[in-house]
Structure 1
């Protein structure tokens, strides 16, 4: 019998049972319905329409109510049993405490991104270095060797220490940013291993935007260095990208020197080819270091014991260089800016609920603090802060941390959104004026050209809506130019546009801040047709 035919009978039986129960109970007086009252605003809540934002309607409110009545909403139960934490100290006190701690730290914290052309040996180099420093155990190394041999990729065994995704191991290339940690005598590093393949440039940009220092790995094998450094190679593009994203210190690891029999001539040829380009890209010679290494054999990473190398090289090892890098000043006093690079589900009792990962561009954050998520009109409370797999009560600018949030639905969190204080939200923009530096491009830029805009983990379509002027030595050299050629500094207007695959015609908004106020929040990259065409510094929102 069809279910539709049974439905009237099922409904009747249910009503009869319900009526019977009512008849046995005491009569309940019927009250007139009370008109709904407007709920009072909680302290710190956002007022509707006060700043141009509106809370989106909850399309699943009915489903949520049903789940709550049935007791199936696990997250609600957890929140009820675990009250939200409170902040332990005032903001000014916290900043002073962190400043004092950073002055007394034995090991200064630095974020390192590893970049370079595909197959240059980036993951293998870092996997070997982690093993040399004791951060990758013999057991893990042996397991990776066995696993890689089974799939016929034994040469990738060391790279598996960082390339943990199934697709990465199957294809033999890094796809997403791999994060790890290691220490030297005087520095504590957050390691960001970026993909080298041009198909994954957006992931590389997301990782490079979180770094203080870059290790550019080049392949010394015959023909391989030239392939990466010639036009269209990722060696050249990655160097431009990391500099445009604010990295000032660069270490060039000339890898696979054992393949060329530790040739001094080959090492010096690579140096001579790269130095003029890197200086033109903005890297100061005193902030750029070249070091010969062999990742697979582990030579000159932590120990320089190769006789053929010692015959002509008496410089430091890679670890020695890393141990003495400069630590940039952190903008602790600026408002909190935390761009989200990933959203995930907490898997343990300590780190339960929805989690987000990223790097603090500025400011400080502590457990119990209520933050605003922009774009949007939602707030959340920081339940737990996790740094280097340890739970900490607070975090500060320059640190890569996971935040576990309470009081927010995951649908209101997205990659590219920014967490900020309720009292000092990050501005949002759909159109803005900016200064740009045009890279070595094949075709000039003209007004109206469609582009891809990259800002931290955001990737949105945009248009070069107006060419305002060409700039030379800080002054206007040519107003209203028709085109922008390679190597030109210019002031332009950029407008975001709706994605072509989206049904909405409304242009997106992204959290942006003028570069003179917050450098990391004002840096942008523009790409076109798979090529990075310009570095951008936002100046102000356009009217």
Structure 2
């Protein structure tokens, strides 16, 4: 059993020392040393035996093999994660990019066309989408179908879930997340934005199109506020559908001045916001600079791809304890199941033990996959799929956090936080019900105490125990959740100390965790 146990923990690789283990095994069975060569020769088929890992194994038996756990610990010390990260992808840093904007601004078409121009979608597939979309009477949706893959998304013509794909620029490897723009799917959009480092905000340049997204009820403002509150500091604004207004410079300037003023209020630095005139349908100014004379007379800046390439890669928290927020759980073939999510901090290797919180269950990592390629290790910033065993799939939900058993994440139902309230009409009082969006979690909660109102820039206390909180205020409050949630303090883990509060379909506040109570 030790042999099969050893093979199992190694994933699907048979250890090169396999021959010795067979010798050891035969010796244990009491066969004479002279017989050993015979056993090996007769057992030429032995190397074919590592089908064992694929069998539905008894997980208790799996857990009872202590040795691999120790050796995995040694292996962990042996890896120089920073050097390995530099070697990976030829030294190209990883960038997680989310595409946001009002519904119908052309996000999916823009990115679908960019992926096609980069060769990520072959001509045959593209031709299939074109003919299918024409049959459905939606010829202009062909490129959007590259990212909107479900039947319902295609029927309704709107993105509903976060589509994820990968492409490369000259100096970066980019994980692209196409977030839904419709206000019914903002919770899905928050999940996508929480996993992003940088964002592309797509606005519609057509007459009335920009105004519909930007004025009251549009999603342009809310999306920009959300990504800023979730820690995105660099933003590219793709002013899309410029071909519909004949590439007019006046229209472009009108949009950038309105947006610029708002984005500055939202907390973006002017030097970190970049405006690019584009056309998702015709593909102008996406992967290469446009040659359209109406545009080149007044615009000589970067194309969208060049701008994505120019983003600064963020600092990854590889030195901190391991943290991964689960965004999906599914059953895999064979034993165990898979969880997917973004590694927020630390790194992981196959054969290591992990702790899942809040369920407080441990499991063993059997395999790691990044962009459909199997790996031995993965680090902060990677969107991975982990195959785990030794735990019941029923206990794991979207929003659970997998962490290092030696340094677990804290779990509580009550915590204190600093809130920044948005332009929200109803005053917030004690006992106010909200929906807490944290990482990939969406959890009903209540604001149980209003502790103080703070000065926006200095943070000094202006008023203690206020009766209610109004729009644009900064305050310290206590929040109680219905079920336990795994949280970190903002000062320790910025990625896991941020959250959003929503109420009846609109986002009312962004917050950071300052104190965990119980």
TM-score, length-scaled by structure 1: 0.81
Inter-partner Cα distance in structure 2 for 1:106 and 1:312: 36
Could you tell me which of 509, 517, 529 is aligned with 2:504? 529
2:352 to 369, 380, 386: 369
Are 2:275 and 1:300 aligned?
Answer: no
Partner of 2:305: 319
SS of 1:521's equivalent in the other structure is coil
**Is it true that 1:108 corresponds to 2:93 in the alignment?**
yes
Displacement after TM superposition at 1:106 (Å): 2.8
Match of 2:9 in 1: none
- 1:457-481 Cα distance to aligned partner (Å, 9 max, x none): 1111111111111111121111111
Residues 278-322 of structure 1: per-residue CA shift (max 9 Å, x gap) = 111111111110100000000000122222111110101001111
Give the Cα separation in 2 of the matches to 1:88 and 1:110. Answer: 29
2:206 partner SS? coil
3-state SS in 2 of match to 1:199 = helix
Alpha-carbon offset, residue 93 of structure 1: 3.6
Question: What is the alpha-carbon distance in structure 1 between the residues aligned to residue 121 and residue 293 of structure 2?
Answer: 26
Between the aligned partners of 1:520 and 1:253, the Cα distance in structure 2 is 26
* Aligned ranges 1:225-304 → 2 under 5 Å: 225-303=210-288, 304=290
Is 1:460 the counterpart of 2:443? The answer is yes
SS in 2 for 1:145: helix
1:37 aligned residue: none
In the alignment, the residues of structure 2 paired with residue 252 and residue 79 of structure 1 have an alpha-carbon distance, to the nearest angstrom, of 53
Aligned-partner Cα distance in 2 for 1:353–1:297: 46
Task: List per-residue Cα deviations over 1:478-508 (Å, max 9, x = no partner).
Answer: 1111221211111111111xxxxxxxxxx30
Please state if 1:165 is matched with 2:140.
no
Distance 1:91 1:435 in 2: 37
**1:372–1:380: 8 Å Cα contact kept in structure 2?**
yes
Q: Which moved more, 1:475-484 or 1:216-225?
A: 475-484
Query: What residue number does 1:124 align with?
Result: 109
Indicate the SS of the match to 2:423. Answer: coil
Match in the other structure for 1:541? 516
Aligned partner of residue 72 in structure 2, secondary structure: coil
Matched residue of 1:431: which SS? strand
Contact 2:200 2:235 in 1 (8 A): yes
Q: Deviations over 1:335-379 (max 9, x none)?
A: 1110100011235x7xx7411110011011110011111111311
Provide Cα deviations, 1:109-141, integer angstroms capped at 9, x if missing partner.
Answer: 100000110011101100000011111111111
1:203 maps to 2:184: no
8 Å contact from structure 1 (residues 356, 402) kept in 2: yes
Tell whether 2:401 aligns with 1:418.
Answer: yes
Question: Where in structure 1 do 4 or more consecutive aligned residues deviate above 4 Å?
Answer: 77-86
Question: In structure 2, how many angstroms separate the alpha carbons of the residues matched to 1:101 and 1:264?
Answer: 47
Contact 1:523/1:537 (8 A) holds in 2: yes
| Secondary structure of the structure 1 residue equivalent to 2:496 | helix
Work out whether residues 439 and 487 of structure 1, in 8 Å CA contact, stay in contact via their aligned partners in 2. yes
Q: 1:98 aligns with which of 73, 76, 81?
A: 81
Shift of the 542–143 alpha-carbon distance from structure 1 to 2, 3 Å rule, reads: same
CA contact 1:493–1:542 (8 Å) conserved in 2: no
CA drift at 1:154: 1.7
TM superposition shift of 1:542: 2.8
Structure 1 383/309 Cα, relative in aligned 2: closer, same or farther at 3 Å? same
Corresponding position: 1:519 with 2:500: no
> Hey, what does 1:60 align to over in structure 2?
none
**Structure 1 range deviating more: 97-106 or 167-176:** 97-106
Q: Deviations over 1:53-91 (max 9, x none)?
A: xxxxxxxxxxxxxxxxxxxx9633799899988627444
Range with greater deviation from structure 2 (463-472 or 289-298)? 463-472
Rg (Cα) greater in structure = 1
Q: Secondary structure at the match of 2:226?
A: helix
Candidates 163, 168, 171, aligned match of 1:183: 168
Partner of 2:420: 437
Deviation digits for residues 141-170 of structure 1, max 9, x if unmatched?
Answer: 111112222222221110111111111111
**Residue of 382, 388, 397 corresponding to 2:371:** 388
Per the alignment, do residues 428 and 374 of structure 1 end up closer, same or farther by CA in structure 2, a change over 3 Å counting? same
Partners of 2:484 and 2:476 in 1: how far apart?
21
**Residue 276 (structure 1) shift:** 1.3
**Are the equivalent residues in 1 in contact too, given 2:337–2:389 (CA < 8 A)?**
yes
Matched-pair contact (CA < 8 Å) for 1:445–1:485 = yes
Query: Residues 78, 150 of structure 1: CA spacing in aligned structure 2 closer, same or farther, 3 A cutoff?
Result: farther
CA distance in 2 between counterparts of 1:478 and 1:231 reads 31
Corresponding position: 1:76 with 2:57: yes
RMSD: 2.0
Tell me if 1:135 matches 2:110.
no
Secondary structure at the aligned position of 1:87 is classed as helix
Alpha-carbon contact 1:187-1:323 (below 8 Å) kept: yes
Gaps of 5+ in 1: 1-72, 497-506
* Cα separation, 2, equivalents of 1:152 and 1:372: 50
- Residue 205 of structure 1 aligns to a residue whose secondary structure is helix
Structure-2 separation of matches of 1:445 and 1:267 = 39
Match of 2:382 in 1: 399
Asked if structure 1 preserves the Cα contact closer than 8 Å seen for 2:73 and 2:352, the reply is no
**Aligned partners of 1:78, 1:480: CA distance in 2, in Å?**
53
CA distance in 2, matches of 1:288, 1:459: 30
CA distance in 1, matches of 2:59, 2:142: 41
Measure how far apart 1:98 and its partner are: 1.8
> Helix, strand or coil: the match of 1:283?
coil
Contact map agreement 1:79 1:406 (CA 8 A) in 2: no
What count of residue pairs does the alignment treat as equivalent? Answer: 456
